[in-house]
Structure 1
Amino acid sequence: MTAPAFDTAPAFDTPLCRLTGVRHPLVQTGMGWVAGPRLVSATAEAGALGVLASATMSTSRLAEAIAEVKRRTDRPFGVNLRADAGDAEERVDLLIRERVAVASFALAPDERLIGRLKDAGVVVIPSVGARRHAEKVAAWGADAVVVQGGEGGGHTGAVATTLLLPQVVDAVDVPVIAAGGFFDGRGLAAALCYGAAGIAMGTRFLLTTDSAVPDAVKRHYLAAATSDTVVTSRVDGMPHRMLRTGLTRAAESAHPLRRLPAALRQAWAFKELTGMSWRRMLADGLALRRNHELPWSSVLLAANAPMLIKAALVDGRPQAGVLPAGQVAGVIDELPSCAELVDRIVGEAAAVLADRAATVRPGPAR
């Protein structure tokens, strides 16, 4: 895929920009129910890498979403995939056929899947939460990795970005994209100084005017403090950072067996919404159990997450659903467009680095 020409030179020409053909080293992450064609195309038009979230889409809906992004922009974009999904091969075929620039993965794809995509010219960027995972996918041929620290929203780990990022940068020879706790130009400047090739943000892009999340829900995020997120495994069996709501408080106090009937109802609703077969959903559940070593009770609870997130982020019922959120939600207080956000972050980062270069001078040699 030929990278589009831009009218002006990029402020930062990092390995991420050269690898993906984007102008700025910023990535909008593939957030389920949020990262649709509208947000992805607006991000791409702003010169950053927009990533479609496909886990909550059927394969046919994903094909429609890719076509819609292409109608809106001719700039590079990506699609986030679940490597353990029962129809992963079919989705990879779709990306190759549609010449999508980037395939990102929340769970690491195997070496064969990486090879298929790379042979077709698709850039492969898995997300990782540990140094050993980055080393593994880099050895398998991944083109770059997104490393998310514990400050990040959604499924997350326990190690802070400032500790995890330098470990991964030192461990692999591919570009490293930092995620978890980023929202402004100072963060981009810091990540570049750590050796990252760029930053990835979810919550910050969710809170833009180009995001399709209802305005009332956005106001709920804007009202949050940095202490208003919680990491819990009670919703879907895995550590998940989200805003505190009445539902999360109830989930924290309820016995797992009392939550199973609701999980089964949500699984049925998700099946009806996406058109997935029970066979496909069972296969995905088996893969989830195997990859995360979860008990069956947690696998059943995992059916909760997509529909509870939809209740909040699509249906506009934040107290009845789940609001995935990074800790940065507590320091964001306005809703710029993607173009305004990207331009501001890049400008701030350039100014910060220039100012530090001018004011910080080495002392005399000893």
Structure 2
Amino acid sequence: MTDRPARPAAGPTPTSAHPALRTPICELFGVRYPIVQTGMGFVSGPRLVAATAEAGGLGILAGATLDLPDLAAAITEIRRNTTRPFGVNVRADAADAAQRIDLLIGENVRVASFALAPKPELIARLRDAGVRVVPSVGARRHAEKVAAWGADAVIVQGGEGGGHTGAVPTSLLLPQVADAVDIPVIGAGGFFDGRGLVAALAYGAAGVAMGTRFLLTSDSTVSPQVLRRYLDAGLDGTVVTRALDGVPQRVLRTDFIDRLERAGPARRLVRSVRSAARFRRLTGTSWRHLLAEGRAMRRNRELTWGQVLLAANTPMLLRAAMVDGRADLGVMATGQVTGLIDDLPSCAELIDRIVAEASAVLDGLQEGRADGDR
């Protein structure tokens, strides 16, 4: 394992969190702490979501990689393990998005999160049913758009984040968006401890969303060999690549990714067509359904058909690593923060630690201010 900087002592877990940690999203989502576990495909399953919810955060189920019956079953499983609020991630451009929204409303799911902005009529329908709408964005203009359309809050991911990501770092993007919209802003990209939570609050956010940090917990269902690859990665162990679907994605740097980047466009397209066929067989999805989703992706994300075919690669490659444990043949989406993580706490231990650290930092700042006033 690579050497990591020592974590500063945060002191004992406080009997109650610092008052500053009770932010607008705590009331909005019905959670104790302003900490969100993001909906990572093939990672954020019922066990991780329920564990996060029980620990006082908002767990978000990765619904986009489940078919409709499996999504319903996953919601039922979460409910067996927690009575606390949770969210479900939905692809706004999915061919069966309307049925998925019906399911969320019927199941009284508290939060619907979106990687792509849902249309105003979809936001209105969810809000009328009491479901909180939380899109994820990577630019101020996108945050302004969904805020004007009626979103309840927005997750803002800076360039340090994993998966599809932009070039602007969180430290610049987060305050820019917080100044531009009047709905709660949740910072994502580079957060893993209580110091980061306090920093996000200082930038104007109402909380933080974390993916990689929750992936690296004992409640994660990712295989031990894949978890080891994450833990062994340094701060230089990730790469932003366009080789998967033509859109920048941050993943762990591996020999497989290096080979994929060296491959020509024609070879990548052949691989993508094969992956699309495997994905169709695995999920039972018809070619007609895949083509309908492809047309939606072209329309909503302004992709070429070549990029749509490349996008067919991603679910199968993510699944190979996250479900099958094939770190050698799969893709491991990750934030740069993986280079600062060296342990696998439970969700309860992680959230308690973050709250303790944040409270200690806030108390220290308050004491320093008081000393300066003497």
String of CA shifts for 1:100-144, please: whole Å, max 9, x gaps.
000000000010000000000000000010001111100110000
- Map 1:214-229; keep pairs closer than 5 Å: 214-229=223-238
Q: Distance in 1 between matches of 2:123 and 2:285?
A: 25
| Partner of residue 10, structure 2 | none
- Within the candidate set 73, 76, 92, 1:64 is matched to 73
| Partner of residue 4, structure 1 | none
Q: Distance in 2 between matches of 1:168 and 1:32?
A: 26
Q: Distance in 2 between matches of 1:243 and 1:102?
A: 29
Q: Distance in 1 between matches of 2:155 and 2:283?
A: 28
Q: Distance in 2 between matches of 1:259 and 1:122?
A: 40
TM value normalised by structure 2: 0.93
- What is the one-letter code of the residue matched to 2:67? S
- What is the one-letter code of the residue matched to 1:239? P
Task: Assess if the C-alpha contact under 8 Å between 1:20 and 1:102 holds in 2.
Answer: yes
| Partner of residue 33, structure 1 | 42
Residue 195 (structure 1) shift: 1.2
| Match status 1:290 vs 2:299 | yes
| Partner of residue 100, structure 1 | 109
Q: Distance in 2 between matches of 1:141 and 1:362?
A: 44
- What is the one-letter code of the residue matched to 1:119? D
- Within the candidate set 178, 191, 195, 1:186 is matched to 195
- What is the one-letter code of the residue matched to 2:26? C
Q: Distance in 2 between matches of 1:52 and 1:319?
A: 26
| Partner of residue 287, structure 2 | 278
| Partner of residue 3, structure 1 | none
Task: Assess if the C-alpha contact under 8 Å between 2:147 and 2:183 holds in 1.
Answer: yes
Residue 257 (structure 1) shift: 0.7
Q: Distance in 2 between matches of 1:209 and 1:73?
A: 18
Residue 9 (structure 1) shift: 5.4
Q: Distance in 2 between matches of 1:294 and 1:253?
A: 22
String of CA shifts for 1:34-89, please: whole Å, max 9, x gaps.
00001000000001000000111101100000000001100000000100111111
Q: Distance in 1 between matches of 2:284 and 2:366?
A: 55
| Match status 1:112 vs 2:126 | no
Residue 361 (structure 1) shift: 6.0
Q: Distance in 2 between matches of 1:90 and 1:188?
A: 36
String of CA shifts for 1:139-161, please: whole Å, max 9, x gaps.
11000000000000001011000
Task: Assess if the C-alpha contact under 8 Å between 2:17 and 2:355 holds in 1.
Answer: no
Out of 271-280 and 51-60, give the one that drifted further.
Answer: 271-280
- What is the one-letter code of the residue matched to 2:333? P
- What is the one-letter code of the residue matched to 2:214? F
- What is the one-letter code of the residue matched to 1:57? L
| Partner of residue 7, structure 2 | none
Q: Distance in 2 between matches of 1:285 and 1:256?
A: 19
Q: Distance in 1 between matches of 2:130 and 2:187?
A: 24
Q: Distance in 2 between matches of 1:292 and 1:89?
A: 19
Q: Distance in 2 between matches of 1:361 and 1:73?
A: 42
Task: Assess if the C-alpha contact under 8 Å between 1:28 and 1:40 holds in 2.
Answer: yes
Residue 295 (structure 1) shift: 1.8
- What is the one-letter code of the residue matched to 2:113? S
- What is the one-letter code of the residue matched to 2:358? A
- Map 1:1-366; keep pairs closer than 5 Å: 10-11=17-18, 12-360=21-369
Q: How many pairs align?
A: 357
- What is the one-letter code of the residue matched to 1:203? T
Q: Distance in 2 between matches of 1:78 and 1:267?
A: 28
Task: Assess if the C-alpha contact under 8 Å between 2:39 and 2:211 holds in 1.
Answer: yes
Q: Distance in 2 between matches of 1:181 and 1:323?
A: 17
TM value normalised by structure 1: 0.95
| Aligned-partner SS, 2:39 | coil
Q: Distance in 1 between matches of 2:39 and 2:17?
A: 24
Task: Assess if the C-alpha contact under 8 Å between 1:10 and 1:23 holds in 2.
Answer: no
Q: Distance in 1 between matches of 2:216 and 2:50?
A: 16
Gaps of 5+ in 2: 1-14
Residue 18 (structure 1) shift: 0.5
Per chain length, whose mean CA-contact separation is higher, i.e. which structure has more relative contact order (CA < 8 Å, sep 6+)? 2
| Aligned-partner SS, 2:121 | helix
Out of 157-166 and 252-261, give the one that drifted further.
Answer: 252-261
Q: Distance in 1 between matches of 2:242 and 2:301?
A: 13
Q: Distance in 1 between matches of 2:302 and 2:127?
A: 29
| Aligned-partner SS, 1:139 | helix
- What is the one-letter code of the residue matched to 1:152? G
Residue 194 (structure 1) shift: 1.1
| Aligned-partner SS, 1:127 | strand
Residue 13 (structure 1) shift: 1.1
Residue 168 (structure 1) shift: 0.6
Residue 10 (structure 1) shift: 4.8
Q: Distance in 1 between matches of 2:278 and 2:50?
A: 29
Q: Distance in 2 between matches of 1:328 and 1:360?
A: 30
Q: Distance in 1 between matches of 2:263 and 2:369?
A: 54
Gaps of 5+ in 1: 1-7
| Aligned-partner SS, 2:143 | helix
| Partner of residue 8, structure 2 | none
Residue 274 (structure 1) shift: 1.8
